[in-house]
Amino acid sequence: MSIRNIDSFTHTRGESVYLDDIPLVNGTLFASVFGSPVAHGKILQINITEAASMEGVVRIFTYKDIPGKNQIGGIIPDETLLATDEVHYMGMPVVLVVADSAEIAAAAVKKITIEIEKYPVVTNPRTAHANGSLIVPPRTFKIGDSENIFENCTHIFEGVAETNGQEHLYIETQGAYAIPGENNSIRIISSTQGPTAVQKHSSEVLGIAMHRVEVDTTRLGGGFGGKEDQATSWAVFCALAAWLLKKPVKYSLNRMEDLRMTGKRHPYSSDFRIGLDKDLKILAYEVNFYQNAGASADLSPAVLERTLFHCTNSYFVPNVTAKAFSCRTNLPPNTAFRGFGGPQGMFVIEAAIAKAADALGIPAAEIQQKNLVKTGDEFPYGQKAASEANECWQKAIDLYEINKIKDDIIRFNNEQVLFKKGFSFMPICFGISFTKILMNQARALVHVYLDGSVNISTGAVEMGQGVNTKMLQVAANIFTIAPEKIRVNSTNTYRIANTSPSAASATADLNGKAVQIACEKILERLRVSAAEILACDAAAVEIRNGVVQVNQKAVSLNWDELVNASYLKRINLSEHGHYATPGINFDNTVEKGHPFAYHVYGTAFTTVTVDCIRGIYEIDAVKLVHDFGTSMNPLIDRGQIEGGLVQGIGWMTMEEIVYDEEGRLRSNALSTYKVPDIYSVPKELDIHFLETTNDNLAIFRSKAVGEPPLMYGIGTFFALRNAIKAFNPHSDIPFSAPMTPEKTLMALYSNK
């Protein structure tokens, strides 16, 4: 059963409600934050007099006004809500202004001045590492004995690989709206992937119990990881001001504030060494990852961990030593972004393979395919592969007649002088589950009303990915009633407690299973109730497609009648389901375990054409085979693949974040930060659904699809590289993403 995204009707009519669409309570005030104009230093003096005297300015708050803790660190407590004596990045919140309108609040912020004694600014993770400035102690994943195995390798290559950050660019910027309630309670409407994080930190900052803080989220206009942790501060600012002023307070960031003050995907700088035997088997791989964490931890330690988990991508390497350093710099704290460190890890091994292939004068695909993981192969973290990565790869070759495409490309390149084509394979293997085991739990609250209609609440946050549609499908599937009878409610901490953020691609699995558990319990009670009503054996009763069946024959008792009759008999028509992923574990004292419920596999084949005069390029086609398990909603899942792929291509090609040496964001507007538009998507995009039937822990065996497709975008970098090599075989092309047209042009004419 597949259904259309339940939001599609209101989305296309512009009727879907986002934070900025919520009708305001009379007397609502507006907040704006004054962020540090200096990336690192000691605060000597803050001058708010002029701002405070502006007509319409209600109050200006500093850290001294915080009744509870001035602390919002998620993993480690190293992040203040408002700066105390030092600033650590440009844009770091120092002062909170509250005014009668958003315009006045913003104007007042401009009148604030600050004196800061400047300290040295570090923006490069390797410099931070050299200074010993790490967020957490280094982590090392190890399998086999790479140190000694290198001696036996026929071919050894080493190098450096760099990936830049990425702006989330959710269409809806960060924001929240807090409304004080009776008896010292507060309601916060927040554009967050993590309602519980908002609830917890608001409660700590206000110094009140969590049960006084209600967080409600209807949907987000995009998250991509950017609102997993970093939605919190804006919500807490609103809560703080609302609490202290006893008035509703709203803050919806403008785009430039959002770009300047929030963290992004972590840039990484990495060193690799790869060793192969004469048959091109990768025997050994060593890698050091330097993660640019920004000024505080945020989610960096968890992101770092996932880099290590995915450092060998889709390949089996028997001897690996991977070290990762989370380096503290004077940039906004970098944070979750679709793939969560995985893409950064995968890029490096793809670079290592490309380097080996170049040196050996063979296509990278020869090395790639030879080393794909097979069932039973052990990943460096101890878990064994349950599938063959070659399945998607080989299917792609056969289905898309890739050998013919390759011949065409060779012919094209022989004939053309000023245009060259390149291609690449990009296999992916992504582990599904939060790597922090405790987060792999979810709850759902299902009510069947006495008219037979159903209302579902879960911890899942709808952010455009279609999770609410999937939750509805789960209930419709278990109850076998029409989707129209079911409604999915907002995500609310008063209905669903202690939620994990909607993240790690695991939201539909975790919350869907909780919905399934709750629905099954209600269904069972209804079945027993029906047997009582019909005076028959409960084992003979089934409820199918909205009617009661006895011995597979429909009787004259439909869903609505059964529900109502059961209510009259005082049967419980509500259930709270709890799900915790079974069988997963990880011991980080030895860095081994079975952290993932399952892996998602796939292979993308990318072809590009480079204009060798101008350095500009087009992506001719991406043809991919993706392991969906058994997709429960092919329309939504296709959308996730398309969006993830294009976002990955953006990261690898045109999206270029630039901070200057003072830590100032130069790409601070949409005129200087380019994301893919309809003209830059692949001209041809083929997505083949590989239906794999082996058992897995996905909801209805429909595998998680949020993050994995982003990594197909990495293929574009290597396809461009190959096109440049076709033009200039001696070109020097650093493994430095994004491969912008400017960098492409430089590479085309390097060493000429």
The β-bridge partners of 592 are 587
Q: Which of 147, 350, 707, 742 is catalytic?
A: 707
DSSP 372: B
CA distances from residue 437 to 293, 383, 500 in whole angstroms, order as listed: 23, 14, 11
Q: Report, in Å, the least distance between residue 574 CB and ligand MOS.
A: 30
The b-or-e profile of 137-154 (16+ CB within 10 A means b, else e) is: eebebbbbebeebbeebe
* Nearest to ligand MOS of 324, 504 (CB atom): 504
Q: Report, in Å, the least distance between residue 226 CB and ligand MOS.
A: 8
Q: Report, in Å, the least distance between residue 502 CB and ligand MOS.
A: 7
Other Cβ atoms closer than 10 A to 508: 33
Task: Please tell me the number of Cα atoms within 13 Å of 330 on its side-chain side.
Answer: 23
CB-based contacts of 419, cutoff 8 Å, min separation 6: 412, 609, 610, 611, 612
How many residues comprise the chain? 752
Is residue 348 within 8 Å of residue 313, measured between CB atoms?
no
**Residue 111 exposed, middle or buried by CB count within 10 Å (0-12, 13-18, 19+):** middle
Closest CA to 371 of 286, 272, 279: 279
Residue 432 found at the interface with ligand MOS (CB under 6 A): no
3-state SS track over 410-445: HHHHHHCCCEEEEEEEEEEEEEECCCCHHHCEEEEE
* Nearest to ligand MOS of 205, 504 (CB atom): 504
Among 79, 204, 216, 228, which residue sits at the site for ligand MOS (rule: CB under 6 A)?
A: 228
* Nearest to ligand MOS of 225, 267 (CB atom): 225
* Nearest to ligand MOS of 340, 700 (CB atom): 340
CA dihedral 63→332→264→656, nearest 10 degrees, is 150
Is residue 639 within 8 Å of residue 652, measured between CB atoms?
no
Is residue 514 within 8 Å of residue 444, measured between CB atoms?
yes
Q: Report, in Å, the least distance between residue 520 CB and ligand MOS.
A: 28
Q: Report, in Å, the least distance between residue 663 CB and ligand MOS.
A: 24
* Nearest to ligand MOS of 39, 705 (CB atom): 705
* Nearest to ligand MOS of 304, 503 (CB atom): 503
* Nearest to ligand MOS of 338, 623 (CB atom): 338
Contacts to ligand MOS from residues 361-400, by CB under 6 A: none
Q: Report, in Å, the least distance between residue 227 CB and ligand MOS.
A: 8
Q: Report, in Å, the least distance between residue 503 CB and ligand MOS.
A: 3
Residue 338 found at the interface with ligand MOS (CB under 6 A): yes
Tell me how far apart the alpha carbons of residues 728 and 744 are, in angstroms, rounded to a whole number. 11
Query: DSSP 3-state assignment of 462?
Result: coil
User: Count of residues binding ligand MOS (CB under 6 A)?
Assistant: 9
Among 272, 340, 379, 419, which residue sits at the site for ligand MOS (rule: CB under 6 A)?
A: 340
DSSP 202: H
* Nearest to ligand MOS of 61, 430 (CB atom): 430
Tell me how far apart the alpha carbons of residues 288 and 662 are, in angstroms, rounded to a whole number. 26
Is residue 351 within 8 Å of residue 327, measured between CB atoms?
no
Closest CA to 704 of 749, 654, 640: 640
* Nearest to ligand MOS of 193, 722 (CB atom): 193
Q: Report, in Å, the least distance between residue 655 CB and ligand MOS.
A: 16
Peptide bond into 738 cis (omega under 30): yes
Task: Write the DSSP string, 567-621.
Answer: HHTT---EEEEEEE-TT-EEETTTTEEE--SEEEEEEEEEEEEEETTT--EEEEE
* Nearest to ligand MOS of 214, 228 (CB atom): 228
Q: Report, in Å, the least distance between residue 68 CB and ligand MOS.
A: 26
Tokens of 656: 């270029």
What is the Cα 685 distance to its own chain's centre? 23
Residue 193 found at the interface with ligand MOS (CB under 6 A): yes
* Nearest to ligand MOS of 66, 705 (CB atom): 705
Tokens of 283: 């025997």
**Cα angle vertex 444, ends 438, 449, to 5°?**
170
Q: Report, in Å, the least distance between residue 213 CB and ligand MOS.
A: 22
Q: Report, in Å, the least distance between residue 512 CB and ligand MOS.
A: 17
DSSP 499: P
* Contact region with ligand MOS (CB under 6 A), list: 32-40, 330-338, 538-546, 662-670: 330-338
Letter for the amino acid at 365? A
Q: Report, in Å, the least distance between residue 109 CB and ligand MOS.
A: 29
* Nearest to ligand MOS of 168, 701 (CB atom): 168
Is residue 432 within 8 Å of residue 598, measured between CB atoms?
yes
* Nearest to ligand MOS of 193, 269 (CB atom): 193
Tokens of 353: 């393979």
Contacts to ligand MOS from residues 6-45, by CB under 6 A: none
Q: Is 707 a catalytic residue?
A: yes
- Nearest-Å Rg of the Cα atoms of the chain is 27
* Contact region with ligand MOS (CB under 6 A), list: 27-35, 336-344, 572-580, 595-603: 336-344
* Contact region with ligand MOS (CB under 6 A), list: 38-46, 64-72, 337-345, 379-387: 337-345
Residue nearest ligand MOS, CB atom distance: 225
Among 236, 283, 504, 705, which residue sits at the site for ligand MOS (rule: CB under 6 A)?
A: 504
Among 35, 74, 195, 225, which residue sits at the site for ligand MOS (rule: CB under 6 A)?
A: 225
Among 337, 579, 605, 717, which residue sits at the site for ligand MOS (rule: CB under 6 A)?
A: 337
* Contact region with ligand MOS (CB under 6 A), list: 103-111, 207-215, 335-343, 409-417: 335-343
* Contact region with ligand MOS (CB under 6 A), list: 209-217, 235-243, 332-340, 442-450: 332-340
Q: Report, in Å, the least distance between residue 342 CB and ligand MOS.
A: 9
Tell me how far apart the alpha carbons of residues 6 and 27 are, in angstroms, rounded to a whole number. 34
Question: Is the torsion defined by CA of 501, 504, 508, 510 positive or negative?
Answer: negative
CB-based contacts of 680, cutoff 8 Å, min separation 6: 619, 649, 650, 653, 654
Known catalytic residues? 707
Which residues form the interface with ligand MOS (CB under 6 A)? Answer: 193, 225, 228, 336-338, 340, 503-504
